[in-house]
Every structure is written in structure tokens, then in C-alpha cells.
Structure 1
């Protein structure tokens, strides 16, 4: 059955992936084509087929390593199309390079029929080390500044993001029926198909956000998107990124990291803010589960019944306009015990005073009796 192909085409390879993964794969393969043409004057598909025809699969690791090194350098003589314009080819960050290589490993196997051994890959293909620095989180004042500048709809989105810790890609896929305004706090069900981890979870908003969100929901139907400006999730996220860029510049929050040139404040910073504030109350593991990091989701889900109460305990940390008194169960018990102890001490003190008063009255009565006896003795003389 030689007429049945044992490999996939590029189109089939891309079609098998979900929307987000397909977008990453398309960019990775396009970058690989640019690299192959620049170094070998051939498209990537042709080079992969050439390697397969030689039977010397070790060359695959050499090619992938060259691609990794090439991505970690600027190539200002190469123009990359960007819509109707173009920009010079600049180096990619280590995480981006790694994600491209993951795509290429699969592509070598599915398109080229070349198996990539993980051990050999780790040994032969070098990925530049990621520079780790302490990221600067949003402050309450900075979020308030952005929200005060933003339009009403964008302000509602930003307030929801800073409370819920949702990814913007999750938020723009919310529909009205995903939000339960009958719960206190308001409950948001994030559907599994809209998450990066493909795991559903529940999140909430604070009392200062709830009235804005309810007002927004009154304007739409159950099946309508709450925040999305486009039915295509990728385009909707791009729109929100551009809108945030506008408000960020208007607010003057344009400072960048020196090691990668990226802005310190971006639309994902709302998510980091939520994680930081929740961690101050319930610890980092729960906080990472709350915002949907895969590693910590099981522990978060195990506390499902207590989630509303746990969120309430974080509410004061998350709010940027209002402040409420948040007292947890243990604190209430402690305060009650203190009041009871104070009452007990006061009762003892009062009993002591009453005893002293009784003694004084008895002493006075004895003295009155003695005085009368003396008066009678004097009168009888």
C-alpha cells in the first residue's frame, strides 16, 4: 500500500492543532523557512526531505541547533512582513526559541518521518539560557490610574482581570451565561475549552467590581461575549493588547526591562497582580492555582467548597478604590474570646467591689451601733 502516505503535509500538520497552537506553529515554520533560505538557499521542507533521503538523521540535530543559534541573534538585513509593513529580523527570547523548537521536533517526525530522540536533542541542541529577573508587579495606584483613563467597557475588563487572575484570552471568550451574579461573591466559570491548560476553573470578582460587571451584563444577551470585540479569539486578544498599549502610554507607564526591551507593565500584569495579592493571604501555591497554573490546579480544586470564603479573605488586598474590614473565622473567634475574657475579668472586679461595699456597710452599721450605745450610757448618768 505504497499509495498511503506515512507522513503528513504541512497543511495537515497545522490543521491538527487548535487555534493558538496553530498560530505558534505557523510562525515557527515560517521562521524556519527564512533560516533555511538564508543559510542553504532552500525551504525548510526541502531540507528535511534531503536529510531523510540521505538516511543520516544525525544531521537533524545539527540543523535544529543551527536554527536555535540563528534565532538568538539579530539579522537586521532580513525584513519580516508585519501586515502591510515589515520590520528587521531581531533575536528571539529563550522561551520563544524553545517553543519554536518544540514545533520543529514534531514537524520533523510528522512531516519528515524523522524520529527525534529526546536525549540526543537535549545533548545536541542548545537553547540560550533565560535571563531571570524579579518582575515588577502592578501597584494598586498604577491599576487605578489605568482604570481612570480607560473607557467604561475597558475599565470593567481591567477590574475583572485584576480580581480574577484570568488570562486575557480566557476573559475575551466569556459569555454572559458563564457569570453567576446570584452568588456572593459573583462567580465566573471559565470553560475548559477556553483555557490554556484545558481545565475548567472558577474565579470571582470583588464587591467594587461587581456593580460594573452587572451593569455590563444587563446590556447583553446570555450568548453574547462579555468583553470580546471580535469573535476570533486571536484577533480579540490582539485588539485588547493594542488598547492597553494606548492607555499605558497615556498613563506614562512606558518603562522597559533592559535585558529584553519589553514593557514592565502589560495587559498580563493584571494577572500577576491577582497572584501576588492572593499569595499574601493564602500562600503562593494556592495563588498559582487560583490564576490557573497547571501544576497547582489540583490543590486549588480540592478546596472548591471553600473558594468563595477564601476569596472573601483576599478581597481587601485586591481592591483599588474601596477598603472593607476583612476578618477571617479564626480572627473572629479570637476577638470573641478576648471579649469574653474581658467580661469575666470585669465581673470579677465588680464582685470584688460589691464585696468591699458590703464590708464597708457592715462596718458603718457596727460603728452606728457603738455610737448609739455610748449615747445611751451618757444619758443614764
Structure 2
């Protein structure tokens, strides 16, 4: 779209309004794109009123945001004042959240040739909330808490949570791991974190505990079925502009961040641990707390620089991988693995037995249903056979009734004859010639039919 702008003493010049998607296409990292898109949408919501109605932006809503994007840059606006008022509008949110939203909106404005002086940027920084603003009261995750949470998750949730707790991976990184990045043949199990997955852009190798590896194996048994059931599960989403689910998704955990938030929240609710900070509206037990759990636990028996490197902290990555081989890192991890193992061997045995009992019960229900289906099928076949026999009997009965009608006059004559001379009738019926004549009459009647 081209916007015409009149400048004094210059005349009419043409300025191209760039789209939101063209702005986002400049960034290669999924999390950056996601963060900047949310920032721009929120800024436009502040300026023109909320567009998004649900958790996901529909295709029509995304188109509306593009329209507002064009409208915003076609108007004469005080961009600095808009940003300052945007900060005030977000009052009550955590300072870190406000900082991220303003940073995203600022990059978007710069992309559209809106420049700020150093003085304006200092004024903007002065308006940002400090660390004394609203902070979420976050509760630490320990092994007992995680046991409660894990007891209310399915295979995918259990595999993801145990992977995060024992590897130090960020949620965004874990959701990008491909099946080819996982090596279950090593001890400890290794995951290759490619540069494009990580926040810092650096490649690294991480490890997971044996219980996490076992949980992943269980998840892989049902992963294909999950993908098939997830494909277009709600076809209404496609009509609202959501992308179609692909069965050839090569990711280890082929689902979105929204699915992760949902499974975490549901597990917290079932475990009786769901609690929200009234000041910020955020969960007190956050799934991102698994990284903090990993760091504090692994550091009990592992050098801090190795722990930080495994977590992907940029300042430690190069140094750690220069000093240690992957094999040596794995050996250090094995020494501290028990600290990031949630269930002891007895706990695992109990869970496996419980899972086996559940599977056996399900198998019993399935066999019971199959037996009932077999009985119903047999009863249906017998009912069909009985209906056929009943129809044949009805046809024979109808034939007999017709024969009786034909023989009616003869029977009346016999009755009258019997009344006149019963002895003579008995004698006649005892005569074989008479009986033969009666049979001939009956056969003639049948032939006429």
C-alpha cells in the first residue's frame, strides 16, 4: 500500500507502508517473531481498541491488524507520546513484560522509519517501571511438588516435564527439538540443541535423566496416534484462520506453546496446586521454574560453569565446550543425575505397576466390549433366522386357511350326511375306495390353487 504525505515546501511524496508480516520476516527465531507479533498487536489494541477475541488470533483478526497497521502510519501521530501512554496503559503488569512489549513496539516503529532522538529514548526509559513494580510471587518447584504434578499428566506431558526438569532446556527450545536431535543410545541420553533453536544462537549438547528417557520412549509409542487425532481435530479452527496440523511433523514434541500451558495448568488444577498471583495474574507455579529447579539441583554435584553451559547461558558456552569434551560433560552429568531425578526407583516401580494395572483394566474393558459385540451379532443372526421361519409359517398358515375355504362346502355336506345316517358315513369312510376318492378331490383343489 502506498500512502501520500504532504510536506511543506516539498510537495507530495510517496511512502510505502510496510506490513506487520514483512517486519516479522526479518527475524529468524521463532520466539522473537512470536514476541514481536504479540507486542505490535497489543500496541494496536491500545491505540484502536482490542481486536483479538480469543487466545489465538484468527485469520480475519490478523487481517484487521494489518489494516490498523496501515491506518496508524497514515495518520499524523506523536509516536513518543503513544509509547509513553502505552506504558501507562500496561500498568500492573510485571516490569519485564512491559519492557518486552515496548521493545517490540519500538522495533516495529523503527522498521517503519520512525526515529527517536537520544533525549526521547531517555524520556521513554524514565517512564519504564523499575524493579519495585508488580512481580509475580513465584513458588519454587521441588521433587515432591513435581511428583504431584506428574501424577496428573499423560504421556506427552510426563515426557516433556521430565525432559525440561533434567536438561535445563527452555520450553521454546524443547518444542523445536527434532526426532533426529535425540540420541537414546547414549548414556546419558543426548539431545542436540541447534543454534536456530536457542535464544543465544549457540549450538550445544544437553543430557536428560534415565527416567526422562523412559518417559520419552513411552511417549514415542503413542506419538503417531496423537498426531493423527490432532490433525484438524477442530475443523472450526481452520475456518478461523488457524494452520492445519501436519502428520509429518518431525518434532519430538509436535505441539504448540499453548498446548504446553494448557497441560501444565490442568495438571496443577488436578494436583490442587493451581494458584494465581492477584497482582500480575500469573501462575505461582510456572513451567519455566523447571530451569531454576535444574540449575539448583544439578549444581549440588556439578561445577557451576558446566551447569550454566548446559542451560545455554552464552557467557559459559564457549569456555565450557573448549575445556570439556561432550563425553566429559556427560560424565559430570551422570554424577549429578540423581539430583534431577524426580522419582526414586521405588516410585518408578509403583508408577509402572499402576500404569500396567490401568492398561490391564482397559484391556479387560475392551475384551468385555468385544464379547458383548459378539453376543449382539449372534443374537442378531438368530433373530434374522427366526424372522425367516416365522414368515414361512405364516405362508403355510395362509395356504391352510385357503384349503379350508375350498373344503368348506364338502365339510358341510359331510356334516349333513352324518346327521342323517352316521353309521353309513362311518362305513363309507372305512371303505378304501371312498378314501381314495376324497384324496383325489383334495389334490384337485390343490392343483386349482
Which category describes the TM-score, using the shorter chain as reference length? 0.5 to 0.7
| Aligned position for 2:147 | 144
1:223/1:185 CA distance change after superposition, 3 Å: farther
Q: Distance in 2 between matches of 1:303 and 1:136?
A: 35
| Aligned position for 1:196 | 199
CA contact (8 A) 1:34 1:43 kept: no
**Residues 333-358 of structure 1, C-alpha deviation per residue, up to 9 Å, x if partnerless?**
xxxxxxxxxxxxxxxxxxxxxxxxxx
Q: Distance in 1 between matches of 2:173 and 2:118?
A: 32
Q: 1:44, CA displacement in angstroms?
A: 6.6
Q: Distance in 1 between matches of 2:278 and 2:212?
A: 35
CA contact (8 A) 1:176 1:220 kept: no
Partner residue of 1:240 out of 238, 251, 260: 260
1:120/1:254 CA distance change after superposition, 3 Å: same
Q: How many pairs align?
A: 289
Gaps of 5+ in 2: 1-11, 50-66, 225-247, 347-449
* Correspondence 1:253 to 2:264: no
**Residues 248-270 of structure 1, C-alpha deviation per residue, up to 9 Å, x if partnerless?**
10001123345423222122222
Q: 1:139, CA displacement in angstroms?
A: 0.8
CA contact (8 A) 2:297 2:339 kept: yes
CA contact (8 A) 2:20 2:69 kept: no
Partner residue of 2:156 out of 153, 172, 184: 153
Q: Distance in 2 between matches of 1:37 and 1:4?
A: 25
* Correspondence 1:212 to 2:238: no
| Aligned position for 1:32 | 43
Q: 1:238, CA displacement in angstroms?
A: 0.7
Which of the pair has more CA radius of gyration? 2
* Correspondence 1:115 to 2:110: no
* Correspondence 1:20 to 2:31: yes
1:127/1:307 CA distance change after superposition, 3 Å: same
| Aligned position for 1:269 | 289
1:4/1:142 CA distance change after superposition, 3 Å: same
| Aligned position for 1:341 | none
Q: 1:272, CA displacement in angstroms?
A: 1.9
For the residue of structure 1 that corresponds to 2:151, the secondary structure is: helix
| Aligned position for 2:400 | none
Q: Distance in 1 between matches of 2:175 and 2:278?
A: 31
Q: 1:32, CA displacement in angstroms?
A: 2.1
- RMSD of aligned Cα (Å): 3.2
CA contact (8 A) 2:298 2:336 kept: yes
CA contact (8 A) 1:165 1:270 kept: yes
For the residue of structure 2 that corresponds to 1:23, the secondary structure is: helix
1:308/1:281 CA distance change after superposition, 3 Å: same
| Aligned position for 2:302 | 282
- TM norm structure 1: 0.66
* Correspondence 1:184 to 2:159: no
Q: Distance in 2 between matches of 1:7 and 1:26?
A: 17
| Aligned position for 2:85 | 66
Deviates more, 1:155-164 or 1:27-36: 27-36
Partner residue of 1:226 out of 240, 252, 267: 252
| Aligned position for 1:308 | 330
Q: Distance in 2 between matches of 1:92 and 1:157?
A: 28
Q: 1:176, CA displacement in angstroms?
A: 2.2
| Aligned position for 1:84 | none
1:47/1:251 CA distance change after superposition, 3 Å: same
| Aligned position for 2:18 | 8
1:224/1:133 CA distance change after superposition, 3 Å: closer
Q: 1:65, CA displacement in angstroms?
A: 1.6
For the residue of structure 2 that corresponds to 1:282, the secondary structure is: coil
CA contact (8 A) 1:191 1:201 kept: yes
- TM norm structure 2: 0.57
1:37/1:152 CA distance change after superposition, 3 Å: closer
Q: 1:276, CA displacement in angstroms?
A: 1.5
Q: Distance in 2 between matches of 1:307 and 1:220?
A: 30
Q: Distance in 2 between matches of 1:187 and 1:130?
A: 38
Q: Distance in 2 between matches of 1:70 and 1:318?
A: 41
Gaps of 5+ in 1: 53-58, 73-90, 231-235, 325-381
For the residue of structure 2 that corresponds to 1:298, the secondary structure is: helix
